[in-house]
Amino acid sequence: MLRVYHLGIDMKHSEITRRKLLVRATVCTLAAPSLAWAQSSKSKTGANTLSIAQIVDTSPEQQDVSRDFLVGSRAAWQTINTHGGLRGRPIQHITIEVDGSDASMGSAIESIRNLPSCIALTGTAGERAAIALVRSLRRETFEIAHVAPWLQNSDQEVNSSTFPIFASRQEQISHVIKSLANMNVTKVGVVYASKQEYDLYRSDVEQTATHLKIKLLSYSPTSNLKQTAQSLTAATPAILLFVGGTPELVQFTQGMDKQTRQRFVIALADVNPQTLLQMGVARNTPVITTQVVPLVNAGLPIVRSYREALARLFDEPPTSLSLAGFIAARYTYEVLNAVEGQATRQSVLQTFQRRASIDLGGFRIKFNAQHRSGAFVTQSMLTPDGRLVG
């Protein structure tokens, strides 16, 4: 199933309730008035309009990440257009929903290929869609900039048209393990939320363990994460890495309620710590969550801009995932603004390929030899007494 929404400037925003896990309904609520705006404004903007496309995966396993990421991106693009767009030209933000299937991704790419005004892809979310899009663009030799996707897999080869700006899974795990150095961590257990996570990310996690010189004990994915947690024994490592999303992590930690041994659960950037508190994460298990963007209460200019835009446009509390979506859009805009002459797919791609370093209001983007940026990692801890520290 493929849905395409056109998001533009001066859109009358609708109020959105927080954390509805059925994100498809939420995305449709967000997008419907935007579609009406785009249709009514088409005659006003005509050929003067530039567009960028954002592919979001609304399959049940990915919708929690995609939904927040999209909200942040929308806040950024609406703010950019309110301030004049790109050199006085509005930027139409097109959102394309995919359902996790190869067919829907193929349809998404074809619809973008046939839209001449679309000059770049930006902020693909969640990670499964980002990986699928990288592979599809390489296979189909479609030359278009793929900017700031939610791509954390360290072993995913990055080609010359993809520009990841967020820290990889390896960098996130390394950051947490180093912060636990006083515990002399030599062995880590890893729990995958489902077979899909296991198949997609196992190689990346194992390479990270080898790099960090730690022994990895993997637990086979099951349909009942609560039972998986209840089956842990005294031989289970004290540090458990959880690879999956927020609802799955809640289920897993609830199964640890009666565990007598103190354990720490490490969750990566797909998990929303604020939502963990709201959904009732187990109180006797400390959970360390990594973020690949600054903390949402930080005083950096980019974070202040994000909070102001979010408060002005949406009935939404700040989250690390929507901040990531906001940063993805802002980075895309800054490079678009550096294009010399007319902004076309070719000129935009060539400008991104310079991989120039940018200080985005305190969030620094600097690419390495592997064509990746994203050394920034921070972390928060959910304490047993229900506080979020960090």
pLDDT at 1: 55
**114 located within any domain:** yes
Q: Residue 247 in contact with residue 279, Cβ under 8 Å? A: yes
Instruction: Say whether both 67 and 162 belong to one domain.
Output: yes
Instruction: Say whether both 85 and 100 belong to one domain.
Output: yes
Token couple for 221: 């994915």
Please give the Cα distance from 133 to 126 (Å, whole number): 11
Token couple for 83: 């301030």
pLDDT of 75-105, one tens digit each? Answer: 999 999 999 999 999 999 999 999 989 999 9
Instruction: Say whether both 15 and 26 belong to one domain.
Output: yes
Which runs of E-coded beta strand occur in the chain?
Answer: 3-7, 50-57, 91-98, 118-122, 146-147, 162-163, 187-192, 215-219, 239-243, 264-267, 287-291, 358-360, 363-365, 378-382, 388-389
Instruction: Say whether both 136 and 27 belong to one domain.
Output: yes
pLDDT of 310-326, one tens digit each? Answer: 999 998 899 999 999 99
Find the domain containing 56 and state its range: 3-167+297-365
Please give the Cα distance from 84 to 88 (Å, whole number): 5
State which amino acid sits at residue 188.
V
Instruction: Say whether both 281 and 317 belong to one domain.
Output: no
- Sequence-distant (6+) residues with CB within 8 A of 92 are 6, 7, 8, 38, 45, 49, 50, 51, 52, 117
Q: How many CA atoms lie within 13 A of 14 on its CB side?
A: 15
Coil, strand or helix: which one is 337? Answer: coil
**258 located within any domain:** yes
Ranges of residues in the chain with a pLDDT under 70 are 1-48, 155-156, 181-182, 280, 282-283, 374, 384, 386
pLDDT at 280: 67
pLDDT at 44: 42
pLDDT at 338: 95
Q: Residue 127 in contact with residue 120, Cβ under 8 Å? A: no
Query: Model pTM?
Result: 0.86
